[in-house]
Amino acid sequence: MIGATFRRVLPQLIILCVVLLLNFAVFPGFFHIEFQNGRLFGNLIDVLNRGAPVALLSIGMTLVIATKGIDLSVGAVMAIAGAVAASVVTGGGGWFTALIAALLAGLAAGLWNGVLVAFFRVQPIVATLVLMVAGRGVAQLITEGKIMTFLNEGLIHLGAGTILGIPTPIVIWLAMGTLVTLVVRRTALGMLIEAIGINETASRLAGINSRVLLVTVYLVSGFVAALAGVIVAADIKGADANNAGLWMELDAILAVVIGGNSLLGGRFSIVASLLGALIIQSVNSVILLSGMPPEFNLVIKALIIIVILVIQSPTVKHRLYLLRAKASSTVSDAPDVAPKAQLAKETRS
């Protein structure tokens, strides 16, 4: 089981290592980590820390995409969750109340998306586009169009604090990733989600409650988006309805794609998507550390990502496979005869 997972995520691991080495090349101190004032410091820690929002989003996005759906609203949900949390603490509430309120807002958003997709059969891209546009408006209504700042220690801790020396966002995304992976793989949830993503009609006829499953994946997506929103708001000590999570849904989708998950649904790997999120953040880091003028950032990022996707494309994969087959053909040039002999025996019996 572990072996299979490892083989599945091997390409992502290799790419991550390459990009990290690229970081090292442009900035030799990249792998240096030190412990100061009860907190881990270092560029590698920054990658893990800054990658938290996209990593969290990619967990939910992986499940949604596995059902052949997509959730464009996660960026807007982040803004809503940040706004809700900020308004609770500025209204005198505690950080825990604020967190719960933000998570409930995320679940409500997920429920909205899920009901539209599962019960009203609205195409996911359209259904979630509604909230992508409207959600930011909702967030602006909550913050009354201003950047709502706060000084609540507890809430700020979620974005800027540490747990046992590790920045809180890292702990949160690692915990969420582990939790969701365990839940979907230790129960039958993962298989059933894959089944409806591959063939929903057949799955429904096999007795699978596809509606409940669809709503569930959008709920998870809304939940992790809310967590990401709280982290981003806590990090800047304020809720910015206009910019929090802006375009982040696209990074989340990209993380899932880099993770080798098909946008057509079906088989999925959350671990691979999380690695995808880290790859994106490492790419950001390379650009930053190389000291390139900031106007080059987006173009270079696009180029690096194109290279990654081309390496993963079926055409290149097939070429690599052929190359490997050729290399090993010196060992056994003749096709294996055993299966045929076995087949003949089966037919005879």
Partner 1 sequence: MRDQPKPVLRARGIDKFFAGAIALDKVDLTLYPGEVHALLGENGAGKSTLIKSLTGAYHRDGGTIELDGTEINPRGPVESQKHGIGTVYQEVNLLENMSVSDNLFLGWQPVKRGMLDHRQMHRRTREILKGYGLDIDPTQLLSSYSIAIQQVVAIARAVELSGKVLILDEPTASLDREEIELVFSVVRNLTARGMAVVFITHFLDQVFEISDRATVLRNGCVVGTRKLSDVSQGDIVELMLGHHLEATKRKASHASPGDTILSLKGYGKRGMIAPFDLELRKGEVVGLAGLLGSGRTETCKVIFGVVSADHGRAELRGQPIRLNSPRIALEKRFGLCPEDRKTDGIVGDLSVRENIILSLQARQGWTRPLKRSRINQIVDEYVKALDIRLASPNMPIRLLSGGNQQKALLARWLATEPDILILDEPTRGIDVGAHAEIISLIERLREQGMALIVASSEMEELVAYSSRVLVLRDRRQVRELGGEEITTERIVKSISQGESAA
Is 135 one of the binding residues for partner 1 (CB under 8 A)?
no
Amino acid at 102: A
Hunting for tokens 């089966």 — which residue is that?
Answer: 346
Residue closer to partner 1 by CB (options 295, 336) is 336
CB 74 within 8 A of CB 99: no
Residue closer to partner 1 by CB (options 323, 344) is 344
Q: Which stretch binds partner 1 (CB under 8 A): 18-26, 188-196, 223-231, 282-290?
A: 188-196
Residue 222: closest CA among 337, 87, 320, 107: 107
Provide CB contacts within 8 A for 245, sequence distance 6+.
53, 74, 75, 76, 77, 78, 79, 82, 225, 228, 229, 232
- Compute the residue count for the chain: 349
Is 186 one of the binding residues for partner 1 (CB under 8 A)?
yes
Q: Scan residues 201-220 and list those touching partner 1 (CB under 8 A).
A: 201-209, 213
Residue closer to partner 1 by CB (options 82, 266) is 266
Amino acid at 22: L
Q: Name the minimum Å distance from CB 15 to partner 1.
A: 24
Q: Which stretch binds partner 1 (CB under 8 A): 17-25, 45-53, 82-90, 198-206?
A: 198-206
3-state secondary structure of 199: coil
Sketch the per residue contact string, 246 through 275, with partner 1: x for CB under 8 A, - otherwise: --------------------xx--------
Q: Which of 34, 295, 333, 336 binds partner 1 (CB under 8 A)?
A: 336
Cα gap 260→92, rounded to integer Å: 45
Cα gap 302→300, rounded to integer Å: 5
CB burial class (10 A; 0-12, 13-18, 19+) of residue 188? exposed
Is 2 one of the binding residues for partner 1 (CB under 8 A)?
no
- What is the helix (H) or strand (E) element at residue 148, kind and residue range? strand 148-149
Is 335 one of the binding residues for partner 1 (CB under 8 A)?
yes
Is 187 one of the binding residues for partner 1 (CB under 8 A)?
yes
Q: Which stretch binds partner 1 (CB under 8 A): 29-37, 48-56, 271-279, 333-341?
A: 333-341
Is 5 one of the binding residues for partner 1 (CB under 8 A)?
no
The residues of the shown chain that bind partner 1, judged by CB under 8 A, are: 186-189, 191-192, 194-195, 198-199, 201-209, 213, 266-267, 335-340, 343-344, 346-348
